[in-house]
């Protein structure tokens, strides 16, 4: 009987022990502060989708494409800006 009580207490302790979040929003935000203006736009556009657990590459691609089509970033810098933004977004 005592071993069951010990097991129960161990399970309760494990269930109530705080676990750090897998996502590190602070590190991603600090990284984003150093982004180029175009990369920052992509980061801000893609952040909600990535933070919600969306596909990193697909979300960034969609954000960059929309910004290029909308004339907010030039096409010739979109790839490098997307890679730059992705380096920060993957920290989420």
Whole-model pTM: value is 0.75
Report how far residue 73's alpha carbon sits from residue 66's, in angstroms, rounded to the nearest whole number. 9
Give tens-digit pLDDT for 64-80: 999 999 999 999 999 99
Which of 78, 76, 86 lies closest to 31 in space, CA to CA?
A: 86
The owner of tokens 């009987």 is: 1
Domain ranges for the chain, please list them.
Answer: 23-89
Query: Contact at 8 Å (CB) between 46 and 85?
Result: yes
The predicted pLDDT at position 12 comes to: 53
Strands (E), the chain: none
Query: Contact at 8 Å (CB) between 33 and 46?
Result: no
pLDDT band at residue 24 using 50, 70 and 90 as cut-offs = confident
């Amino acid at each position: 009987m005592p071993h069951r009580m010990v097991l129960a207490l161990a399970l309760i302790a494990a269930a109530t022990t705080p676990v750090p979040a897998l996502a590190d929003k602070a590190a991603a935000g600090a990284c984003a502060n150093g982004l180029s203006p175009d990369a920052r736009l992509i980061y801000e556009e893609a952040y909600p989708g990535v933070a919600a657990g969306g596909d990193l590459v697909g979300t960034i691609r969609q954000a960059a494409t929309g910004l290029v089509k909308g004339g907010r970033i030039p096409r010739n810098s979109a790839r490098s800006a997307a890679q730059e933004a992705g380096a920060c977004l993957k920290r989420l």
